[in-house]
Structure formats: structure tokens, C-alpha cells
Structure 1
Amino acid sequence: MNWLDSMNWLDTWRERYCDWRYGTFDPNAKVGKRGEQIAARHLRCKGLKIIAESESDRGGEIDLIALDTRSRLVIFVEVKTLATRRPGHPADRVDENKQARIARAAMRYLKRKKLLGTPCRFDVVAVWWPTNEPLPTKIEHYESAFESPLEYQMF
């Protein structure tokens, strides 16, 4: 076994360990769902615990809800996946209206779970996953991407 073969073996082992530890994604899912799955994996790698996925009610939908166990912070995550090679940033699609819908859904979630005094933040994960690519080409996580547009509503 030469040096290059041992590196390939090590990369394979590392990838299998990460799949076991942080989760996998469904390669046959739609692009948006794959983006959410890879974003959840990315957040788990950062030490966050995913407590809900695709949480929705009549107020809106939240892609991921994570918990930072060290700081006891609830994190509401919006995932935007760009499936083309055209220029543009996926996070630009989180406009003021989308922010307001996410904030309303977050408030309803906190009320439902009796967590109204818990500090929270809103993050955006941008994923670039061109069509016909097996893996995303780029993932960016923006912590505290926006403040709640609802006055006197969020902590």
C-alpha cells in the first residue's frame, strides 16, 4: 500500500465517521430538502443540537431549529439553496417579508413550547449546490443574520 492509497483510505474512513456522527443527506431528495439536510449536518459539526426540522404552522415555516447547549440559546435557521451557477447569493432571498414570517413562526413556536423567556437568534445558512453535482460547492453560515422585525416581541 503506497502513501496515496493510505490517504484515500483515511478520507473514506473520515467521511464514514462524519456520516455516522453528524448525519447524512438523501441524494434523491429535492434541492431545497438536500440543502436543509446538509445545513443540519454543518450545524451539528459546529456543536449545535438540531431540535426541529421543517417546523410549520399557519404562521409560517422554519427550516431548522437548533439549540446551543453551552449558552442555552434557541437558534432559528433559514436555509437557502442555490442550484445554479449564475451569480447571486442565496441569502439575498431572505427579504424583510420573509424575516417577518420567520419571526412570527418563531414567536408561535416559543409560545407553544413555553419558552418565551429564552434568548434566541436568527441565522441564515446559504448553500450553493449546482445541478448534477454530488455535493455542495460552498456552505456559509451567517450567525445573527437579522433581528426580529416585530416590535417588542422577541428576546
Structure 2
Amino acid sequence: MRGWWARAFGNRGERRAARYLRGLGYTIIARQHTNRYGEVDLIARDGDCLVFVEVKTRKSTAAGHPAEAVDRTKQGQLTRVALAYLKQHGLLNARSRFDVIAIIWPEAGRTPELQHFQNAFPPVGTGQMFS
């Protein structure tokens, strides 16, 4: 997948993930939050915990499970984005975590398979408040 179609497919997955989280009682705070370190797909509140959610949507597992795309490099980037968000909003003392939602959506019209990995990885990096 390339270009606009890939973005549209990813956006569709993010909308589905947001609906799923709202169904669990989460409050969606932001979608596609971007700062100088990159982007996080969703920021949500689960009770008193701020959740940074990476959503990976694929048509199949032919190239591996979607969650496998959230490798150590991506985890580091998400950690930096989250830390900047927390600093910007004066939330450095807030509880927070990283979740991954993997969606396999084989065809339009078919029900997607969604897996939610809560607390999917610890913050990555050195010399930060997380180390």
C-alpha cells in the first residue's frame, strides 16, 4: 500500500480503534497528535491514566502481525512524542502507558479482527524521566 490509499486505510483503522476504546469507557483526547518528535495515533484517558495508543492496520498477516511493526525504534519515537506531550501539558506526574491496537481488516465490509495490547511496552530511552 502506498500514498493516499494507505493513509485512508490507516485512518479507517484509527477510527475503528477509537470507537473500540470509547466502548471500553476510555475518553479520546486527541487523534494523530503530532509534535517535533513524530506522531502518536491516539491519546486517551483510561480512568486516571493517560494512554498513548499506536494503531497498526493491515489487510493480512502475510508480512507479519501488525503489532510487530511497533519495534524498538518506533517505541523510542513514541516515547519521545509522549514525553513532549506530557511536558507541554504539565502532566509529568500523571500515570501513563503505551498501548498497541493491531487490526487485521482483510476486505471492505468484513468485520476486522482487533487485538488490544495494554501496557504493550515500557518507555524506551536513556537520560529521561522514564529511565
- Tell me the TM-score normalised to structure 1 length: 0.75
Structure number with bigger Rg: 1
CA deviation after TM superposition for structure 1 residue 154, in Å: 3.0
**Distance in 1, Cα, partners of 2:118 & 2:130:** 16
1:140 maps to which residue?
115
Q: Is 1:80–2:56 an aligned residue pair?
A: yes
Structure 2 unmatched ranges of 5 or more: 1-6
Task: Work out the CA distance in 2 between the residues paired with 1:35 and 1:153.
Answer: 31
Deviation at 1:115, TM superposition (A): 0.5
Determine the C-alpha separation between the residues in 2 that align with 1:101 and 1:136: 31
Cα distance in 1, alignment partners of residues 91 and 10 from structure 2: 29
Deviations 1:67-97 (A, max 9, x none): 012xx10000000001236362100000000
Q: CA deviation at 1:114?
A: 0.7
**Is the partner of 1:75 in helix, strand or coil?**
strand
Hey, what's the Cα distance between the residues in 1 that align with 2:73 and 2:31?
Answer: 21
Change (3 A) 1:104 1:136: farther
Percent identity of equivalent pairs = 42
Q: Equivalent residue of 2:91, what SS? A: coil
For residues 108 and 62 of structure 2, the distance between their equivalents in structure 1, rounded to whole angstroms, comes to 15
* 1:66 counterpart letter in structure 2: A
Q: Find the partner of 2:31 among 25, 47, 53.
A: 53
Q: 2:8 & 2:121 partners in 1: Cα distance?
A: 27
1:99 aligns with 2:75: yes
Structure 1 unmatched ranges of 5 or more: 1-28
Question: Aligned-pair RMSD on alpha carbons?
Answer: 1.7
- 1:137–1:87 distance in 2 versus 1, CA, 3 Å: farther
| Residues 127 and 136 in structure 1, CA contact (< 8 A), matched pair in contact too | no
Aligned residue runs from structure 1 range 1-155, under 5 A: 30-69=8-47, 72-84=48-60, 86=62, 88-130=64-106, 132-151=107-126, 152-154=128-130
The two structures have a TM-score, normalised by structure 2, of 0.88
C-alpha displacement at 1:135, in angstroms?
4.2
Distance 1:87 1:136 in 2: 20
How far the C-alpha of 1:141 sits from its partner, in A, is: 0.3
| Matched length | 124
Shift of 1:57: 1.1
Q: Tell me: CA distance 1:154–1:136, structure 2 relative to 1, closer, same or farther (3 Å).
A: farther
